[in-house]
Copies of this chain bind each other. A is one copy, B any other.
Amino acid sequence: MLEVSRAQSDAADTADFRCIRPSGIARQYLRTVVHMTIAEHGYRPTAEQRRRWLDQAAASTPVLYEVSCTPVGLVTCVADATAWQGWRMSPAGTMADLAGRKLKRGDRVLIDLGEHLVGYLELRLSSAGNPPDSPGRFRVCVFETPAEAADPDTPWAVELSRAWFQDERVTVDVLPTVIRMPRRSAGRYVLIEIIDTSIGWQLVIDAVRMHYVGAAPLLLPAPETLMSPAMAAIDRVALRTLRGCMQTVFEDGPKRDRRLWSGDLRLQALVDGVSFHKTALVQRCILLLAAGTRESDGVLPACIFERPNPHPAADVILDYALLLPAILQDLAARPDADRELIRDLLPLARRQLEIGLSFVGADGLMLPPPGWWTFIDWAPGLDKQAALHGIMVYGLRAFARVAADFACADLAADLVAPTARLVERGRALLWDESRRVVVSGAQRQISWASPAWFALAGIITAAEAADALEHAMHQADAIRPGGPYLMHHVVHALWISDRRERALQLIGDFWGGMVERGADTFWEVYDPTQPAWSPYGDARMNSACHAWSCTPSWFLRGGCVA
């Protein structure tokens, strides 16, 4: 495919046309200045193009694997000050023990599925005592972590919906019966609490099954032979995390919030490329995002709802949108990528950069625009200017590479000068040569985020990046990553800055720390010094199987070629 495309590029006009079809609008704006405001005439996919993308996405909806899994036994949740978040599980019997129990009002059983699983619970129920002379009612909660299981009753004091709590009630009129829970759940532990039977009969749970579902097979790829046991454990947890998030789209978390987010997708696709190899699913997700392009300005939506019909959320995250070129570049590196699709999407990827460039200030630095969500990381107080500046350059460079790969270099030609200027301005104003640090914002804040993105963008050299990253990591008041998303980029930056051992040490400390603390899948947020921390006000709302935390396997399986 690559060879064919390059051959075609010899006939320049034809290649150019191919790059920007179907609308031809891209040709037009290529001749305008680059430091444009967000032009109303900028590229947007036509309605027909969106429909075609949606059709292509629908055609590549995966058939999910479904595997019936048996729980490993019963557990109880034990308070333990030495355990992560104060709770650990203790064995409390076998499933055969459960089948022998007669459950009545208020009885609780806690079932261990053995590992974090996404799927549909099935309960085979019968009764003991007299024939049931009343309905039976029980509660079924699914928990990802021991601490979540320890406290299913305190209402969540959060702004997010309490309906995320996997807490369903079932009323059965006839026994014996088989109940397949209608909603998918995600977690490792299942609480069944008997709300009531009558005094004449008791509920018996003869069997519990979890019908695993996912776009990835249940069986995880074996670890690479040269991995240390500790790294193999991290790899396994990382792949289990990704597996849980691979449904009919790459979800950010199978418990919460189940949407397709572009920033998470980028990282998931990287790991998928070294593990499950579901290229069609990656492409489906990119198509869904592209089809949801915001009409008013052509910006890529931050996330997509799949149902009832695919549609974008109102959320836009500027730094996520700027990474579309990188997503396409990564996809292009797959041997089975649909190169026509990538070519189709180049104008949209370029459009994101144009929008980004419209937020370059008079001093030549990116400024997180008011009214836009610039994410970067959850850490409170983080100044995001340097990181955003880095991401802008990172996106421009990814675009230049992918455009060249597709023999559409002229699509990126007018971006060369602005890129160089952004690099120059970034070095001049945010790189402190004397202290070997990257600073951000008016307060010249030191954080892990700024050098990471400056390194990834190549604004600073590998040696400079190594120094700046070490400086930030050793400076006590530097703003540390608030979550695995940024931590991934720090590891990536170290990796490409000839600090691979340091990167592996960070993986061992951060992701290995989660494994040591009992992680079955990697968590959305993790700060070893703040076990109860949550961006949502309640740690039970955190997703414990979260897309952006799955990246160690990318490094450990040779995905990151510096």
Interface residues of A (CB under 8 A from B): 105, 130-137, 159-164, 168-169, 171, 173-177, 183, 195-199, 256-257, 259, 305, 307-308, 311, 313-314
Alpha-carbon distance A59/B254, docked complex (angstroms) = 48
CB <8 Å contact, B314 and A162: no
| Chain B residue at smallest Cβ distance from A306 | B174
Report yes or no: B311 in contact with A160, Cβ–Cβ below 8 A. Answer: no
Q: Which chain B residues lie closer than 8 Å to A257 at the CB level?
A: 133-134
Residues of B within 8 A of A134 (CB): 160-161, 163-164, 256-257
> In the assembled complex, how far is the CB of residue A409 from the closest CB belonging to chain B, in whole angstroms?
39
Q: Inside 8 A of A259's CB, which chain B residues have their CB?
A: 133
Contact A135 B164 (CB under 8 A): yes
Please judge, given known A-B contacts A173-B307, A307-B174, whether A161 and B130 are in contact too, CB under 8 Å.
no
From residue A248, how far is it (CB to closest CB) to chain B in Å?
13
Q: Known contacts A307-B174, A313-B133: does B195 contact A159 (CB below 8 Å)?
A: no
Determine how close the nearest CB of chain B comes to the CB of A396; give it in whole angstroms. 31
- Of B163, B197, B305, B314, the residue contacting A196 (CB under 8 A) is B163
> In whole angstroms, how far apart are the Cα atoms of A196 and B538 in the complex?
16
Chain B residues with CB under 8 Å of A176's CB are: 308
Q: Is the interface of A mostly helix, strand, loop or mixed?
A: loop
Q: Which residue of B131, B132, B183 is within 8 Å of A171 (Cβ)?
A: B183
Within the complex, what minimum Cβ distance (angstroms) separates A66 from chain B? 19
Residues of B within 8 A of A132 (CB): 305
The reply to whether B161 and A305 form a contact with Cβ atoms under 8 Å apart is no
| CA of A176 to CA of B257, assembled, Å | 18
Whether B130 pairs with A314 at a CB distance below 8 angstroms is yes
Integer count of this chain's copies in the complex: 2
CB neighbours of A160 from chain B (8 A): 134, 198
Q: Which residues of B contact A199 (CB under 8 A)?
A: 159
* Contact call A162/B137, Cβ cutoff below 8 A: yes
15 contacts between A and B (CB under 8 A): A130-B314, A131-B313, A133-B257, A133-B259, A133-B305, A134-B160, A134-B257, A135-B163, A136-B161, A137-B162, A137-B163, A161-B197, A161-B198, A173-B183, A173-B307
Bound CA span A199–B159, Å: 7
Whose C-beta in chain B lies nearest to the C-beta of A139?
B169
Residue pair B161, A196 in contact (C-beta under 8 Å): yes
Q: How far is the CB of A423 from chain B (nearest CB, A)?
A: 37
Contact of A169 among B168, B175, B196, B314 (CB under 8 A): B168
CA distance A308 to B134 in the complex (A): 13
CA A15 to CA B229, docked complex, whole Å: 89
Residues of B within 8 A of A171 (CB): 163, 168, 183
Residues in chain B near residue A173, CB distance under 8 A: 183, 307
By beta carbon, the residue of chain B nearest A174 is: B307
Residues of B within 8 A of A177 (CB): 308
Q: Which of A132, A133, A169, A197 has the most CB of B within 10 A?
A: A133
Asked if B136 and A314 make an inter-chain contact with CB atoms under 8 angstroms apart, the answer reads no
Q: How far is the CA of A256 from the CA of B133 in the complex (A)?
A: 10
A532 and B258 alpha carbons, distance in the complex (Å): 48
**Is B131 touching A311 in the complex (CB atoms < 8 A)?**
yes
The 3 closest A-B pairs by CB, nearest first: A134-B161, A137-B163, A162-B196
Q: Given the complex, which residues of B lie within 8 Å of A313, measured CB to CB? A: 130-131, 133
Q: What is the bound-complex CA distance between A183 and B172, given in angstroms?
A: 9
Apart from A161-B198, A163-B196, what are 4 other A-B pairs with CB-CB below 8 Å? A133-B305, A134-B256, A163-B171, A174-B307
Q: Which residues of B contact A175 (CB under 8 A)?
A: 308
Q: How far is the CA of A124 from the CA of B307 in the complex (A)?
A: 17
Give min CB distance, A125 to chain B, whole Å: 12
Residues of B contacting A195 in the complex (Cβ-Cβ under 8 angstroms): 162-163
Residues of B within 8 A of A198 (CB): 159-161
Q: Determine the chain B residues whose CB is within 8 A of the CB of A169 once the complex forms.
A: 168-169
Given contacts A130-B313, A173-B183, A183-B173, contact A197 B163 (CB under 8 A): yes
Set of chain B residues within 8 Å of A314, measured between Cβ atoms: 130-131
**Which residue of the partner chain B has the closest CB to A156?**
B196
Which residues of chain B are within 8 angstroms of A174 by Cβ–Cβ distance? 307-308
- In the bound assembly, the distance between CA atoms of A171 and B256 in angstroms comes to 14
- A177 vs B168: C-alpha distance when bound (angstroms): 19
A162: which B residues are within 8 A, CB to CB?
Answer: 105, 137, 195-196
Please report the C-alpha to C-alpha distance between residue A211 and residue B174 in the assembled complex, in whole angstroms: 21
Q: Which residue of B lies closest to A184 (CB)?
A: B173
Complex-state Cα separation, A528 to B159, whole angstroms? 48
Collect the chain B residues with CB atoms within 8 Å of residue A183's CB. 135, 171, 173
A9, B316: Cα distance in complex, Å: 91
CB of A232, distance to nearest CB on chain B (Å): 36
Bound: A257/B200 CA distance, A: 14
Q: How far is the CB of A304 from chain B (nearest CB, A)?
A: 10
* Closest-CB distance, A347 to chain B (whole angstroms): 26
- A201: min CB distance to chain B, Å: 9
